[in-house]
Amino acid sequence: METRAPFAVVGAFVLAAIVAVFGFVYWLNASGGLGPRTSYHVRFDGPVPGLLVGAGVLFNGIRVGEVTELGLAPDDPRRVNATISVTTTTPVRSDTKVGLEFQGLTGVPVIALEGGVMLANNGEVPTLIAEPGAGQGMTQAARDALRKVDSVLTENSGALKDTIGNFKIFSEGLARNTGKLDGIVAGLERMTGVTAPPPKITYDLRAVPSAGPAGKTINVQWAIPEPTAVVMLETQRFLFSPPQEVPGFAEAMWADALPKLIQARLIESFENYDLAHAPLRVADLGQPEFQLLIDVRRFRIALDQQPTAEIGLSARIVDKNGKVVASRLFEGSNKIDSVAPAPAVEAFSEVFGRIAKEMIAWTTEIF
219 and 331 co-located in one domain: yes
* Band of pLDDT at residue 77, cut at 50, 70 and 90: confident
Is residue 253 included in any domain, yes or no?
A: yes
* Band of pLDDT at residue 25, cut at 50, 70 and 90: low
d(CA 6, CA 4): 6
Specify the pLDDT at position 106: 62
- For residue 279, give the CATH number of its domain: 3.40.50.10610
Is residue 60 included in any domain, yes or no?
A: yes
205 and 78 co-located in one domain: no
pTM (2 decimals)? 0.50
* Band of pLDDT at residue 32, cut at 50, 70 and 90: very low
Specify the pLDDT at position 329: 97
Higher pLDDT, 252 or 194: 252
Is residue 71 included in any domain, yes or no?
A: yes
221 and 88 co-located in one domain: no
102 and 217 co-located in one domain: no
Is residue 268 included in any domain, yes or no?
A: yes
Higher pLDDT, 145 or 296: 296
Specify the pLDDT at position 298: 95
Average predicted confidence (pLDDT) for the chain = 83
215 and 84 co-located in one domain: no
Q: Which of 70-84, 170-184, 242-256 has the highest mean pLDDT?
A: 242-256
360 and 243 co-located in one domain: yes
Q: What is the dihedral of CA 60, 61, 64, 70, to 10 degrees?
A: 100
Higher pLDDT, 118 or 176: 176
Mean pLDDT across 87-108: 79
359 and 261 co-located in one domain: yes
Which of 98, 133, 168 corresponds to the end of one domain?
133
Alpha carbon 20 to its chain's center: 52
* Band of pLDDT at residue 168, cut at 50, 70 and 90: confident
Which of 133, 160, 192 corresponds to the end of one domain?
133
Instruction: Look at the chain and report how many structural domains it folds into.
Output: 2
Specify the pLDDT at position 1: 43
Is residue 185 included in any domain, yes or no?
A: no
Higher pLDDT, 12 or 96: 96
**26 pLDDT more than 70:** no
Given a contact cutoff of 8 angstroms between Cβ atoms, the answer to whether 70 and 78 are in contact is no
212 and 344 co-located in one domain: yes
**280 pLDDT more than 80:** yes
Is residue 6 included in any domain, yes or no?
A: no
129 and 209 co-located in one domain: no
Is residue 226 included in any domain, yes or no?
A: yes
Domain extent, residue 88, equals: 35-117+125-133
220 and 77 co-located in one domain: no
Mean pLDDT across 260-288: 88
**27 pLDDT more than 90:** no
> Residue 128 is which amino acid?
L
Is residue 64 included in any domain, yes or no?
A: yes
**354 pLDDT more than 70:** yes
Which of 133, 160, 185 corresponds to the end of one domain?
133
- For residue 85, give the CATH number of its domain: 2.40.30
Provide the CB-side half-sphere exposure for 288 (13 A, CA): 23
Higher pLDDT, 134 or 153: 153
318 and 207 co-located in one domain: yes
129 and 215 co-located in one domain: no
